[in-house]
Structure 1
């Protein structure tokens, strides 16, 4: 290693915005960096000179664009650690702090998957809530079953059982009027009342009943929040991936996006990968044991797979994965989100199911795509007229005559 004798050239930033633009380049050669290297590297000896770069991405980009001989890591890292920083003026610390805040703010704003992240977190929380509600409901059934074991056979739904346990409390104090108001079913209320009078359960102390009622209330509130979260997930995925949600459902679509990491990553996957997303363990086990590979992953939870005959499940899962790939790519690259293509893709899957059962030939992809494109154009025109009408009404309500005249000249 040669000895570093001194600084040959130094790039001084005239403003903090230029420094921010340079560190935000993220692996792309900035124009200022290109000019600095072309100016200060030895003329005619670029290929002979060795340029040390701390960032491997920048090093690869420099080697590709400028044809430089690049070295990263090793000696470069040791040199960076050994180099002492230059003395800064009095305001240097404040400038560095402002630059750090600006860079962090830009990284947060640049996150292209910010809408996808809401879907990923929502579906993860929904899955966790399903497990927790099921576990807690089983605990309530076992706990309250000591006092009223017959209720388990009458009320099978978990959330309803928790509400009933909270309402009934001590079975000896149960009245038919309060029970009918909660159950909204006179036959079931009468069955619960008759079972409470002839129950074989043991007596329970008031403090035990208080704890059971508190826990039942928590489980019932969790079940209520789960319904709200599912509605939020439905509205969110209809904004981000309306075609995918229309085709395969909001929960299955959210699972696909979550497993891929983002909607963009899902759009990059081929249909064969989408088909087995969620079945990686079974796939690797089959490859290891040389057995049959799985036919479906998350797409198995679609209603289409359940409706297909046993011999056609693999074929319809392959076809459905193909349509999911098309829908995800449309959602990723569409400027205006719409579910028109999702409706037509769903109709195609329905026709394919009918073809497997009856032999009736389905429509071609080109015909279905042309119909969907025509519907989308009509919807966009209608939306444009609606926005123009709203702008005109807003101008009339505010008394802005100039805006009204401009709208009238533009042709309604």
Structure 2
């Protein structure tokens, strides 16, 4: 009732003014929600990791197509060069195997990075059981290999881009579990904020929802890990300790994601310390050596993080001072450029005034001279 009849209960408050106040409040709330730092946008990470996974599938499919296509001509090369991208480079370099000679050995060594493997390719080409190939087929195979190589190079650049974005958005999470696995966690959660809100038990089985619901439906054993299975820690742990280390790792991932999400200046200090804790826990499971207490590790991390944050803020202040100096110089240059036309116009007006005065003086001097010219004639007449 009070909310409905509030304008009638408060003196001087009209319905129109209340509507304006509500509109202003809505605008300020929306402005606060939209305001963000462009360097900490996790949407780019989600798109990048999705594209990276898609590129992995496509490159694998296309490389297998190159293998099967070029394998008709040089089938022995598949066993010598098992790596997909390198196989495409070698196939593009060799072309027709009958043209491969000792002179091409140096170029092969640069591609395969192994002199013994290059020599094996050369010997296999001389005694290959493959069929002959026409120049037109060879042109198409080389063109397709070139496309696969360009995709592979683009994937490397995309992975570097993802690494740089993760170091800006979630440095602790990437230092703890790796850039690719951390990006997959963020992508599966929807955003870094959503990941920070998840409990450790949810992070542990993130990516294994189907197995979880199937286990709940059949009343079987629930999965012990999801996306974090791709971490190196779980692969290094013994079979009996995989569940324990996955639970511990999920706990540390939750802490790292919350630190990255809610800290003003994110650093990788906490991620490095959390990684050390996971390493110590792995050693504890294997050797029984007791790890350090969490309180001691976090105290060290806080001290180091404060030093890093102070250094970052100092650099930002220097950059801001330099930016202000550049802006000041630019404004001074603009002001000086604006004053120059005014001075030129003043000089032109002064020159025009001086020129007009000179013209007037010349005009005055001309009648005087014309009046002074007949005098000698009169004098001459009088003298005559």
The TM-score, its normalising length taken from structure 2, stands at 0.74
Q: Which residue of 2 aligns with 1:148?
A: 74
Q: Which residue of 1 aligns with 2:285?
A: 356
Shift, 1:275, TM fit: 0.2
Q: Which residue of 2 aligns with 1:137?
A: 63
Residues 105-141 of structure 1 show CA distances to partners (whole Å, capped at 9, x for unaligned) of x799557897111000000000000000001100100
Secondary structure, counterpart of 1:247 in structure 2: helix
Shift, 1:154, TM fit: 0.6
Q: Which residue of 1 aligns with 2:157?
A: 228
Secondary structure, counterpart of 2:266 in structure 1: coil
Shift, 1:228, TM fit: 0.4
Q: Which residue of 1 aligns with 2:206?
A: 277
| Counterpart check, 1:166 vs 2:92 | yes
Q: How does 1:147-296 map to 2 (within 5 A)?
A: 147-184=73-110, 185-296=114-225
1 CA distance for matches of 2:235 and 2:36?
A: 37
Secondary structure, counterpart of 1:296 in structure 2: coil
Shift, 1:180, TM fit: 2.3
Shift, 1:381, TM fit: 3.0
| Counterpart check, 1:344 vs 2:270 | no
Shift, 1:11, TM fit: 4.5
2 CA distance for matches of 1:204 and 1:20?
A: 75
Shift, 1:186, TM fit: 2.2
Residues 390 and 120 from structure 1, CA distance in 2 versus in 1: closer, same or farther, beyond 3 angstroms?
A: closer
Aligned with residue 240 of structure 2, among 311, 315, 320 = 311
Shift, 1:174, TM fit: 1.4
2 CA distance for matches of 1:179 and 1:188?
A: 10
CA RMSD of aligned residues (A): 3.0
The structure with more helix, counted as a fraction of residues: 2
Shift, 1:390, TM fit: 6.3
Q: Which residue of 1 aligns with 2:303?
A: 374
Residues 300-329 of structure 1 show CA distances to partners (whole Å, capped at 9, x for unaligned) of 111110111111000000000000000000
User: Does the Cα contact within 8 Å between 1:296 and 1:314 map onto a contact in 2?
Assistant: yes
1 CA distance for matches of 2:70 and 2:188?
A: 39
Q: Which residue of 2 aligns with 1:126?
A: 52
Higher relative contact order (CA 8 A, sep 6+): 2
Secondary structure, counterpart of 1:330 in structure 2: helix
2 CA distance for matches of 1:181 and 1:210?
A: 20
Aligned with residue 325 of structure 1, among 239, 242, 254 = 254
1 CA distance for matches of 2:323 and 2:217?
A: 67
Structure 2 unpaired stretches of 5+? 1-13, 330-384
Deviation larger for 109-118 or 336-345: 109-118
Aligned with residue 115 of structure 1, among 27, 41, 46 = 41
1 CA distance for matches of 2:108 and 2:120?
A: 14
Q: How does 1:64-83 map to 2 (within 5 A)?
A: none
User: Does the Cα contact within 8 Å between 1:176 and 1:189 map onto a contact in 2?
Assistant: no
Shift, 1:175, TM fit: 2.6
Secondary structure, counterpart of 2:42 in structure 1: helix
Residues 264 and 108 from structure 1, CA distance in 2 versus in 1: closer, same or farther, beyond 3 angstroms?
A: closer
Deviation larger for 146-155 or 361-370: 361-370
User: Does the Cα contact within 8 Å between 2:52 and 2:159 map onto a contact in 1?
Assistant: yes
Structure 1 runs (4+) greater than 4 angstroms displaced: 9-15, 17-26, 106-114, 384-400
User: Does the Cα contact within 8 Å between 1:257 and 1:266 map onto a contact in 2?
Assistant: yes
Secondary structure, counterpart of 1:360 in structure 2: coil
1 CA distance for matches of 2:74 and 2:234?
A: 41
Shift, 1:393, TM fit: 7.9
Residues 220 and 311 from structure 1, CA distance in 2 versus in 1: closer, same or farther, beyond 3 angstroms?
A: same
Secondary structure, counterpart of 1:337 in structure 2: coil
Matched residue pairs, number?
Answer: 312
Residues 386 and 239 from structure 1, CA distance in 2 versus in 1: closer, same or farther, beyond 3 angstroms?
A: closer
Structure 1 unpaired stretches of 5+? 1-8, 27-105, 401-412
Residues 223 and 338 from structure 1, CA distance in 2 versus in 1: closer, same or farther, beyond 3 angstroms?
A: same
Residues 167-222 of structure 1 show CA distances to partners (whole Å, capped at 9, x for unaligned) of 11111111333342243232211111111111100111111111111110000111
